[in-house]
Structure 1
Amino acid sequence: MTETGTSATSADGGGTARGADADPVSVTFRPTTLSTLVAVSAALFALAALEVATADTFLMGSAGVALVTAGLWVAWRWRRLVGVVVGFPGVALVLLAIAGSWTGVGRAVAFATVAPALLGALLVTVSLAPGRGEGTRTLLKAGCGVVFLGVLMAGVGQSATFDELALATVGIVVAYDAGETAVNVGEHLGQEASTWRVESTHLAGTAAVGVLTVLLGRALQGLQTPGLDLGQFAIVLVAVVAFVAVLHE
C-alpha cells in the first residue's frame, strides 16, 4: 500500500500523467490520532486502577509518556531533532518514576507493577507513532503484554483488590483494541479522512463491553471456590479476559 496517491494516466499517452497541472492526492496511511490517544491513555489507566503507584510516581510516569508521545508526533510532522528534544525528557521522567516506585513498604511489589506498566505504555506509544510502518501490531501486542505483566504482579503480590485488578485488565483490553482500531482505520482511510465518528462508535462499544466485564467479574466473585483466595481468583479472571482479547483478533 503506497502512502501517496498517483494521478490518472491517459489512455493513449503511453503512461504519461493526464493534466500537467493536476496535483496528486496525498493520503497518509498511519495510525489515527483519536484511537492512538485512547490506547495510550487506557494503558496508563491500567496502572492508575491498581492504585499501587503513589500519586507522584504515577503523574511523573504519565507526564513522561505524554512527552514521548508528543516528541514522536513532532519528529514526524516537523523536525526529528526537535522531536528528540521534546521526547527525551519524557524517557527520563519514566525512568525516574520507575526508580521512585522502589520506596516505602511493599516496594518490591510496587516496583514489579509500576516498571512493566510504564514501560508497556511506552511501547504502546512507540508502536502507534505516526512515522512507524512495519511491526506496528507486533509492538502493540508486546506493549499491552508488558502492561498485563504488571497487573499479574499486582495480583500475585495481592497489593490490589479484585475490582482494581478487573478495571486494570479492562484498561489493557481497551488499549489493545483502540490500538488495533487506530491501525486498521489508518490503513483503510488514512489520517486525512474524517474518521472520528467511526472510531468513537467502536471505542464506545469496547468501553461498554469493558463495563459488562467488570460487572460479570463482581458477580463471579461471589462464586469463588473454597480455598481459592482473592489474588488467585483475580489472576484466573484476568487471564481469561486476556485470552478473550487475543481471540478477538
Structure 2
Amino acid sequence: MNGEITRRPTRLSAALSLLAAALAVSLVNTDAATGTFVAVAGLVVAIEGAHRFRTEQRLLGTAGLLVGGLVGVGGAGLAVSSATGQSQLIEVGLGLFGVVCLGLGVLPLRGSGSRGLSKLGCASVLLAIVGGGLFQTAGAVALLLACAALIVSWDAAENSIAVGEQLGREAKTWTVEAAHFGGTALVGGVAVGAGLVVRDLGTPGLPLHAVAFMLVALVFLTLALHD
C-alpha cells in the first residue's frame, strides 16, 4: 500500500442513508416493505461485487454481481407485486428508483461519490411520499414519519460523501458518524412530534394530510437551503 487516502463515501453513513430511505418508502407502502429492504440488500451486494470485479478480484466480484443482482431484482419484483393499484405502483416505482439512485451516489464504483445522484434519489423518494399524500394511500402519521426518515437519509448521504472527501474511507469516523446520524434522527423525531401535536389540536379546516404536507414542505426547504 502506498498510504494514499481512499476518498470514497464512508460505509456507515452510506448504509444508514440507504436504510432510512428504504424505511421512508416502506412507511408509504407497508406492503412493499419486505421487497424494498431485500432490493436494498441486493443493490449493496451487487455494487460491492462490481467494485471487487473492477479491482481485479474477478471471482468474488462476479459472485457478488450475480447474487446481488438476483436478490435486488427479486426484491424489486416483490415490492412491485405488492402494489394493489396504479397509484401504489407509481409510488413503489418512484421509491425503488430513488433508492437505486441513492445507492449509486453513496456507493460509487469510482470517485468520491455523487451528490447529484443522492439528491436525485431523495427527490424521487420525496415524490413517492407526495404521491402517498395525494392518492391518500398512506395515513398522516405514516407520511410524517416517512418525511422525517427521508431527511435523515439525505443528511446521512451528504455526511458520508463529505467525510469521505475530507478524511477518507479508512479513517475511524464511525463514532462521529453515529452521533451525527443520531442528532439528525432526533431533530426528525421532534418534527414528527410537533406535527402530531398540531394534528391533535384539531385545528378547523386543517385535514390530517395537510399536516403531513407541512413536513413535506419542510423537506423541500431543507434541501433548498443546504449548501
Fold shared by both chains (TM-score > 0.5): yes
Q: CA deviation at 1:64?
A: 1.8
Aligned to 1:166: 144
Q: CA deviation at 1:225?
A: 5.4
Query: 1:153-204 CA distances to partner (integer Å, 9 max, x unpaired)?
Result: 1001122222111100011111100001110010111111111011111111
* Inter-partner Cα distance in structure 2 for 1:49 and 1:102: 14
Aligned to 1:16: none
Instruction: Give the helix-richer structure, 1 or 2.
Output: 2
* Inter-partner Cα distance in structure 2 for 1:208 and 1:53: 23
**1:70 alignment partner AA:** V
**1:65 alignment partner AA:** V
CA change 1:102–1:45 in 2 (3 A) is closer
1:88 equivalent to 2:66? Answer: no
* Inter-partner Cα distance in structure 2 for 1:60 and 1:225: 37
So what's the TM-score if we normalise by structure 1?
A: 0.81
Moved more, 114-123 or 131-140: 131-140
CA change 1:230–1:121 in 2 (3 A) is same
* Inter-partner Cα distance in structure 2 for 1:156 and 1:236: 13
Name the count of aligned residue pairs: 221
Q: CA deviation at 1:98?
A: 4.5
* Inter-partner Cα distance in structure 2 for 1:206 and 1:38: 12
**CA contact under 8 A between 2:17 and 2:156: conserved in structure 1?**
yes
Aligned to 1:70: 45
* Counterpart among 138, 141, 154 of residue 119 in structure 2: 141
Within 5 Å, give how 1:32-181 maps onto structure 2. 32-50=10-28, 52-54=29-31, 57-77=32-52, 78-79=57-58, 80-103=61-84, 107-133=85-111, 136-181=114-159
Q: CA deviation at 1:91?
A: 4.0
Q: CA deviation at 1:224?
A: 6.1
* Inter-partner Cα distance in structure 2 for 1:24 and 1:102: 51
Q: CA deviation at 1:239?
A: 1.6
CA RMSD of aligned residues (A): 2.1
Moved more, 225-234 or 141-150: 225-234
CA change 1:208–1:245 in 2 (3 A) is farther
* Inter-partner Cα distance in structure 2 for 1:97 and 1:123: 19
Q: CA deviation at 1:61?
A: 2.7
So what's the TM-score if we normalise by structure 2?
A: 0.88
What SS does structure 2 have at the residue aligned with 1:24? coil
CA change 1:222–1:183 in 2 (3 A) is same
**2:124 alignment partner AA:** V
**1:44 alignment partner AA:** A
**1:173 alignment partner AA:** I
* Counterpart among 166, 185, 204 of residue 226 in structure 1: 204
What SS does structure 1 have at the residue aligned with 2:5? coil
* Inter-partner Cα distance in structure 1 for 2:20 and 2:168: 23
CA change 1:134–1:24 in 2 (3 A) is closer
1:213 equivalent to 2:195? Answer: no
* Counterpart among 200, 222, 232 of residue 178 in structure 2: 200
**1:59 alignment partner AA:** T
Q: Structure 2: give runs of 5+ residues left out of the alignment.
A: none
